[in-house]
Amino acid sequence: MSIFDEKRADLEKHEFMMGPERGRLAVALDLLTDSLIMVGQHGVYCTSSRNPNVPALDLQAVLSGMEGAKALIQSVMEELRTRREQELTRRENT
């Protein structure tokens, strides 16, 4: 499941309030904040590793959240790039 499916409700709410770019960035910041909180808890409460070959479940969640935030930020960058190119094309045609 992609981050766009997983966070659909949050994305729709924030994109409606702030526009697509700013809304996605807001959700990305929420994901990063949640990930940072989990890392902090991990450092305090989890001092042992059950299976050294696989990352701890909370670490997997942190990595997933960061990857999701990266995907959102990349989509905003692509949208901004496309918009900039369209504006340049319109200016050249005027």
Tokens coding 55 = 């990352």
What is residue 27's predicted lDDT score, i.e. its pLDDT? 94
Alpha carbon of 51 to those of 40, 48, 76: distances in Å? 21, 9, 37
Q: What is the pLDDT of residue 90?
A: 92
Residue 80 near residue 72 (C-beta atoms within 8 A): no
pLDDT in tens, the chain (94 residues): 899 999 999 999 999 998 888 889 899 989 988 987 887 677 555 555 676 666 677 777 887 888 888 888 889 888 888 888 899 899 999 8
Cα 13 from Cα 57, distance rounded (Å): 29
| pLDDT of amino acid 77 | 82
Rounded CA-CA distance 39/54 in Å is 17
Q: What pLDDT, on a 0 to 100 scale, did the predictor assign at position 15? A: 93
